[in-house]
Structure 1
Amino acid sequence: MLDVLTDADYELFRKVIYDESGITFSATNRSILDSRIKEMLRKKNLNTPQEYYELISKDPEEMKIMLDAVTTNLTRFFRNQPHFDSFVNYVIPHVIENKKTSSDHTIKIWSAGCSTGEEPYTIAMIMKEICPPDFNFHITASDISLKSIMTAQQGFYPEARVDGVPENYLSKYFTKVDGGYQIKDEIKKTIHFDYHNLKNDSGARNLDVVFCRNVLIYFDEPAQLAVINHFYDAMGPKSYLYIGHSESLFGMKTNFEFIKTEWACFYGKGVSK
């Protein structure tokens, strides 16, 4: 049984993962890559890392499965509450005000790196509460992990996973079932879940709000800038970007504006008066 990847094997997988996704593995998280590759060898009944490398090189679907296996999917409902406080009290009111004079009354939101769905479902529940009757909203949620997307689409969460959901939201937007809670269809239908590699342009345009939190930390600086530029292209003329509270665009050459509110800090495109 393989103990750890050799330096040559590690470099081979580190490079292909970076080339395919922009995700960076360094010496500090090498052990994660070691364990994930070992697990994939076991599942595929292969003997050497070289055999597995040949497999993913020849089969694009196997490459997706490998990228899924090496990514970390950690999330929860209402994660970083100050972000959602600023979303309710600042961002959405400004988006609505900017759209009042146009014929487009659909608020378009992207949850990039949505993992198992807690973030987009949180956004959807909030929007159900605050969206004016003459407006509607649509959320696109994407991830590089097909397994996570499938979990998100099902919308079922064990009881421990809904910890942190306010009681009024839990009773209104979830159905209690054996073993946990099921998101109601009225929330599920507001979200389109899709596979997307952030290294590529999504093709989306005129988005009003983009959430990409705790994802950029897995990229090096060139890959971060490429992702941020894709977001800028996808966003509308007056729009807003949320990244993780430990992430920053400081020192990065972008056209985004830093916005500090009493609730949280985030970024804007074309929103300066």
Structure 2
Amino acid sequence: MSSLFSKTISLGKQLKISDQDFAQLRDFIYSQSGIYIADNRKYLLENRLVSRLKELNLKTFSEYHYYLQYDPGRKRELNRLFEVITTNETSFYRNPPQLKVFQDYVLKDILDGLRKSRSKRLRIWSAGCSTGEEPYTIAIILHEVLRTELRSWDIKITANDLSEAVLATARRGYYSEYALRTTPKEIIGRYFEKEDKQYKLKSEVKRLVSFGQINLSDRLQLKRVERSQIVFCRNVIIYFDDDMKKSVINAFYDNLLPGGNLLIGHSESLHNISRTFKPKHYPGAIVYTKEG
């Protein structure tokens, strides 16, 4: 989830959202997802939801709010709502400096520690995985680092997102050239097969990743995620208010095993959000560590 409301829908200019309807829908979206929509985003919410009203043959935003609460199809529509209010723009090997720190320092230290303890059980959580580029990049890095040794490891990358639509795309594992725009050419050659105009991810990468829908505002769902040595949550918490940020970061802290690491987006910070993590500064990245 890298940018929210970055595009608008130019349909139904005659449909306008009142201040009251905006407040109701904003509060509903917040209660369901933790995503907070500021007052200055009102017209963007309006433009995004017009297509849903048209498809459902609803005449007002008030009717749509009622539909989301009481209609028998509300659960399916909630998934559609999540799709239209979030924009999932990402790519493989996004933010290379941070990934280099992950590979050369974070992952190396975790793997070395596991080897010393005679354990080869590695768990990584990608929270807000979008269409799969992030967790698959992590899986590729693991292949690159461990090579033939990977077969002897018990590795699972748990990848979650709010939108079922993006998860379906992720599970397929087919990507455009644009999704690979920041990926080294040799990596594309090793881990993808060209099919017409798309690139198919190889099965040995896909099998390391397990996808599932999760709502980061649901504490019970978060508690069910297997405890991890590493958590990635990049470009997600910027869409939450401070209370929601604190709740999610605390859930990551609880999930992480002692000595585990949290990686967030390069434009994000835990400043004034949490003091439980120890920040470690590297060239091009900050990694937040759970001491213990």
TM-score class normalised by the smaller sequence: over 0.9
| Aligned residue in 2 for 1:174 | 192
Q: Which amino acid aligns with 2:57?
A: N
| Aligned residue in 1 for 2:65 | 53
Q: Report the Cα offset of residue 263 of structure 1.
A: 4.3
| Aligned residue in 2 for 1:127 | 142
Is the 2:15–2:60 Cα contact (8 Å) retained in structure 1?
no
| Aligned residue in 1 for 2:211 | 193
Looking at structure 1, the residues matched to 37 and 56 of structure 2 have their Cα atoms a distance apart, in angstroms, of: 23
SS of the residue corresponding to residue 104 of structure 2 reads: helix
| Aligned residue in 2 for 1:13 | 25
Is the 1:239–1:270 Cα contact (8 Å) retained in structure 2?
yes
Structure 2 unaligned runs (5+)?
1-11
| Aligned residue in 2 for 1:29 | 41
SS of the residue corresponding to residue 224 of structure 1 reads: helix
| Aligned residue in 1 for 2:256 | 235
Match status 1:160 vs 2:183: no
- Aligned-pair identity in percent equals 36
| CA offset digits 1:190-209 (Å, max 9, x no partner) | 11011000112321243011
Match status 1:223 vs 2:233: no
Q: Report the Cα offset of residue 131 of structure 1.
A: 2.5
The TM-score, its normalising length taken from structure 1, stands at 0.94
| CA offset digits 1:61-116 (Å, max 9, x no partner) | 32232122211212111111111100111001111122224353121111111111
Q: Which amino acid aligns with 2:115?
A: K
Looking at structure 2, the residues matched to 210 and 28 of structure 1 have their Cα atoms a distance apart, in angstroms, of: 32
Paired residue total: 271
Structure 1 unaligned runs (5+)?
none
Q: Report the Cα offset of residue 3 of structure 1.
A: 3.0
SS of the residue corresponding to residue 94 of structure 2 reads: coil
Match status 1:268 vs 2:289: yes
Is the 1:41–1:48 Cα contact (8 Å) retained in structure 2?
yes
Q: How does 1:3-152 map to 2 (within 5 A)?
A: 3-58=15-70, 59-131=74-146, 133=149, 134-152=152-170
Q: Which amino acid aligns with 1:173?
A: Y
Looking at structure 1, the residues matched to 32 and 178 of structure 2 have their Cα atoms a distance apart, in angstroms, of: 34
Worse-matched range after superposition: 71-80 or 199-208? 199-208
Looking at structure 1, the residues matched to 277 and 226 of structure 2 have their Cα atoms a distance apart, in angstroms, of: 16
Looking at structure 2, the residues matched to 157 and 48 of structure 1 have their Cα atoms a distance apart, in angstroms, of: 37
Q: Which amino acid aligns with 2:132?
A: G
Q: Report the Cα offset of residue 178 of structure 1.
A: 1.1
Query: Could you say if the C-alpha distance between residues 62 and 97 of structure 1 is closer, same or farther in structure 2, counting changes exceeding 3 Å?
Result: same
Quote the RMSD (CA, aligned, Å).
1.6
Q: Report the Cα offset of residue 52 of structure 1.
A: 1.4
TM superposition outliers: structure 1 runs of 4+ over 6 Å: none
Looking at structure 1, the residues matched to 36 and 272 of structure 2 have their Cα atoms a distance apart, in angstroms, of: 20
Match status 1:252 vs 2:267: no
Looking at structure 1, the residues matched to 141 and 274 of structure 2 have their Cα atoms a distance apart, in angstroms, of: 33
Q: Which amino acid aligns with 2:178?
A: A
